[in-house]
Amino acid sequence: MRRVLLGRPILVLRSQSGDIAAMGDVCPHRFASLSRGRFEDDIVECPYHGLRFDLNGVCVYNPHGDGKIPERARVASYPVIERHGAIWIWPGRSEAADETLIPDLSFLDAPSPFQRGDGYLRTKANYQLMSDNIMDLSHSDFVHRTTLGTDGATARAQAKTQLVDDIVTIEWSFDGKGLVMERTTANPPDIHTRIEVTWHVPSVMVIRVESHPVGEETTKRRTTAAHIMTPETDQSTHYFFGIWNKDHVDFARQIFETEDGVMLEDIERNMGGKDLWDLNPIVLSNDGGAVLVRRVLARKIKREQEGMIMDLAS
Amino acid sequence: MRRVLLGRPILVLRSQSGDIAAMGDVCPHRFASLSRGRFEDDIVECPYHGLRFDLNGVCVYNPHGDGKIPERARVASYPVIERHGAIWIWPGRSEAADETLIPDLSFLDAPSPFQRGDGYLRTKANYQLMSDNIMDLSHSDFVHRTTLGTDGATARAQAKTQLVDDIVTIEWSFDGKGLVMERTTANPPDIHTRIEVTWHVPSVMVIRVESHPVGEETTKRRTTAAHIMTPETDQSTHYFFGIWNKDHVDFARQIFETEDGVMLEDIERNMGGKDLWDLNPIVLSNDGGAVLVRRVLARKIKREQEGMIMDLAS
Amino acid sequence: MRRVLLGRPILVLRSQSGDIAAMGDVCPHRFASLSRGRFEDDIVECPYHGLRFDLNGVCVYNPHGDGKIPERARVASYPVIERHGAIWIWPGRSEAADETLIPDLSFLDAPSPFQRGDGYLRTKANYQLMSDNIMDLSHSDFVHRTTLGTDGATARAQAKTQLVDDIVTIEWSFDGKGLVMERTTANPPDIHTRIEVTWHVPSVMVIRVESHPVGEETTKRRTTAAHIMTPETDQSTHYFFGIWNKDHVDFARQIFETEDGVMLEDIERNMGGKDLWDLNPIVLSNDGGAVLVRRVLARKIKREQEGMIMDLAS
């Protein structure tokens, strides 16, 4: 499978032993896409002139003339690991790959009375606009007014943010009448709701929602979901999500496609590819989580780029 | 209604009292389009996080946390006036707005035995190519050969141009056989035709046509129409027209769509977005009106830009 | 007929006497496309304001006012000749036009038991990628595995290249089992195949294929075809081909459209408009012909550009 990540075409393959491999998808000879070629016995064959590469991206066969293999006949190979039902690719220097940096999403692997469900959507918006959206769930009261909205209760709640070890947490805790779409009477009972979102570098988020009728802590309802935003290009994002309950997947996809996605693509067009801060946005109390995330990310990116400059200097 | 003017998205609204308001269509918080939000009781609500703006573009409600409204929470508000059945928006500095600069199109408001008719077309061509087209009606003999053409009589007539107070007038006056599409016999009678086009800064034109059989001044036919070219972007134009006779609107739209519009979009593509003068066109006697208009416009634009520089310097 | 060549719109016309003329397709007055106008009695009329041009691109009639014709009222006129069933246009300085530079494709004109057949395809790839493809027919074993492929025999053959008077020749000569699509038994007879491709500046190629069962030289089969790559833009090419046997045209078109063309457009996208050498490709033994062609072409282009600089300096 070819997948463009960070602007680069990447070939993702599963070997006979079941392992995953990720390598550059462009042949170093004449730049054909390897994903258009044959894949047999853990060997990829370029569809244009038949060079063959192993799962480490190394050319192992040249069908031409005397068959000599040039030293440079290789494509980039990326450290990759499968965990929590997702494929994690390390696009930086291989030596620096560190799987302990993968956030703990083991709740997705846990046995559940419901089945886990997954979804994928491609959105024509920058990945940071996508995480802004999840780090500020007050948008539910407006974007999802008639479904996930709470008649303004989420927006009025003063959310608390916290930063520990590059992990950002934001928490809303409030009494209200519950989700608009779940109200069945004109005067629904008071519901206490607690929402917690944790963000991990570079763009993995977990949303945990708990709610119960006020005074009835024993009848808590819980739902947990992971949201992963992987940049395709500067202006498009692969959006993966995993929910602890398979039955919620279709609803989540529909809501995102028709409401969040439409909004985020409209904003990306209005911003014309510019950086958020260059456009000098006003900042409101509900921006706390999103702003903190952008700050941590900017610091990490700056440090990484300085690291690269030091590498070049040494 | 959202309308992109001069490359900027503008929100145009009608208030409960019937007045028109025009303001920036992009929320200063997270850059969503306000036109996607709700509009009730003269208040616009941002569809993303629910900030509310009045018709002056000022934020009057923040639904988040303690509800404090940041000073910068406002969008641009444009002076606007409704006149002659059109909405006139002033995109420059508000203090400089001057409604006496709106050309007199009161002929459109006058009682008429026919009813006034209006039309709108979007064309993928620069607005100056659109006014060039109207300031040189000799094109009728070629672009509209079988309809508005005159078998070359318009082209042969030496048009007279005049410049008074930044208003350009061009006049054709000639004897011929009338419009090709109106000829009913092989040897039609001689017709005298007088066409006058007046152009007003930046791109409002009025075409007046009078004709009568030679020697029969008492049986004059008259038709008058306004043509307004509003830049959408550098390479596209909103084209509004108003005709003193509703029955002519469909014909005008059809002629423009299938003949002028096709020509102008072809030319825009051939010019590749370049300035006319940079392409070093040859100039013919029929270019008088169009060239004079471009000269006046270039002078006004230069003066405006110098004014902006002086503003910055003072 | 309008045809964009080297990024320029060119108007190609056939005169009453049957000759071909080629001139710029954009009117020097207001940049309308002349190909949208009338063409009668060897005169082209601009569709916008009716200027008329003869087949040398010279304005011969101005219908406006006193009819004076400005000296600059002309479009570029290109030396052109019809030969071997193709139209050859000289886009450089007219004085330098030299019809002896047209490669000898007279095999296409020769009487044949079969009829000659021609084809045309437009491909969104640079013309040099198109000639690379033909100068390295080893790709048949991979791109055309089940049709023109030879089970790797072409790829294994060490092709010989030769450069004489700016003409590049590459020759493959090998024993195998013939084309995969022609094998009718599990153990087909041994076939000797000889393929010769000659390339002429800037991008005309002739492919000659001969084959016969090993030891039976008397039963040779021969096929010859010309392939001409004319740049439309930097990233698109007009591909013309002529085959000595009309019955092969549909097959050739289908193979190119579904196999070569798809590959070349994929590569053009992967290269993102960059020059091949700037992307630092690895070079294999099968690249000999393609690399030699690129070297000759680069030398010719450099010499031409230096000539232009000397022209400017003198």
| A219, A202 contact by CB (below 8 A) | no
pLDDT exceeds 90 at position B10: yes
Which site among B133, B170, B270, B284 would you substitute to test the C interface, given the most C Cβ atoms closer than 10 Å to its Cβ? Answer: B284
Q: Which amino acid is at A63?
A: P
The whole-number pLDDT of residue C291 equals 97
- At A314, the pLDDT band (50, 70, 90 cuts) reads low
Q: Is C181 helix (H, G, I), strand (E, B) or coil?
A: helix
Exposure letters B192-216 (e unless 16+ CB within 10 A, then b): bbbbbbbbbbbbbbbbbbbbbbeee
Greatest alpha-carbon span in chain B? 83
What is the distance between the alpha carbons of residues A63 and A69, in angstroms, rounded to a whole number?
10
Long-range contacts from C47-54, C-beta under 8 angstroms, 24+ separation: C47/B142, C47/B143, C47/B263, C48/B139, C48/B142, C48/B143, C48/B263, C48/B267, C49/B136, C49/B138, C49/B139, C49/B142, C49/B155, C49/B284, C49/B286, C50/B141, C50/B142, C50/B152, C50/B155, C51/B284, C51/C27, C53/C23
- At C43, the pLDDT band (50, 70, 90 cuts) reads very high
C279 closest CB neighbour out of A31, A32, A36: A31
Task: Flag whether the ipTM exceeds 0.85.
Answer: yes
C71-118 tens-digit pLDDT? 999 999 999 999 999 999 999 889 999 999 999 999 999 887 778 899
A33 closest CB neighbour out of C143, C156, C270: C270
SS (H, E, C) A71-130: CCCECCEECEEEECCEEEECCCCHHHCCHHHCCCCHHHCCCCCCCCEEEEEEECCCHHHH
> Distance (Å) from the C-alpha of residue C122 to the closest C-alpha of chain A?
19
A269-288 tens-digit pLDDT? 999 999 999 999 999 999 99
User: Which residue of chain C has the CA closest to A50?
Assistant: C142
Region B39-61 average pLDDT: 98
The whole-number pLDDT of residue B111 equals 81
Chains in contact with A, counting 3 or more C-beta pairs less than 8 Å apart as contact: B, C
- At A139, the pLDDT band (50, 70, 90 cuts) reads very high
**φ, ψ of residue B113 in degrees (nearest 5):** -60, -30
Contacts of B28 in chain A (CB under 8 A): 281-282
pLDDT exceeds 70 at position A313: no
What is the distance between the alpha carbons of residues B297 and B306, in angstroms, rounded to a whole number?
14
User: pTM of the full predicted structure?
Assistant: 0.91
**Cross-chain Cβ contact C50/B279 below 8 Å:** no
Contacts of C289 (CB under 8 A, 6+ apart): C135, C136, C159, C161, C168, C170, C197, C199
**Cross-chain Cβ contact A286/B64 below 8 Å:** yes
C129-178 tens-digit pLDDT? 999 999 999 999 999 999 999 999 999 999 999 999 999 999 999 999 99
The whole-number pLDDT of residue B302 equals 94
Contacts of C270 in chain A (CB under 8 A): 9, 26, 31-33
A222-274 tens-digit pLDDT? 889 999 999 999 999 999 999 988 888 999 999 999 999 999 999 999 999 99
Give how far Cα C52 sits from Cα of A204, C16, C42, C75, C313, Å.
67, 17, 10, 11, 36
Side-chain-side CA neighbours of residue C259 (13 Å): 21
What's the mean pLDDT when you consider all of chain A? Answer: 94
Which of B95-99, B107-111, B166-170 holds the top average pLDDT?
B166-170
Region B293-303 average pLDDT: 96
- At A72, the pLDDT band (50, 70, 90 cuts) reads very high
Region A188-197 average pLDDT: 96
Contacts of C273 (CB under 8 A, 6+ apart): C234, C235
**φ, ψ of residue B289 in degrees (nearest 5):** -65, -45
> Distance (Å) from the C-alpha of residue C180 to the closest C-alpha of chain A?
16
pLDDT exceeds 80 at position B311: no
- At A99, the pLDDT band (50, 70, 90 cuts) reads very high
B139 closest CB neighbour out of C28, C36, C48: C48
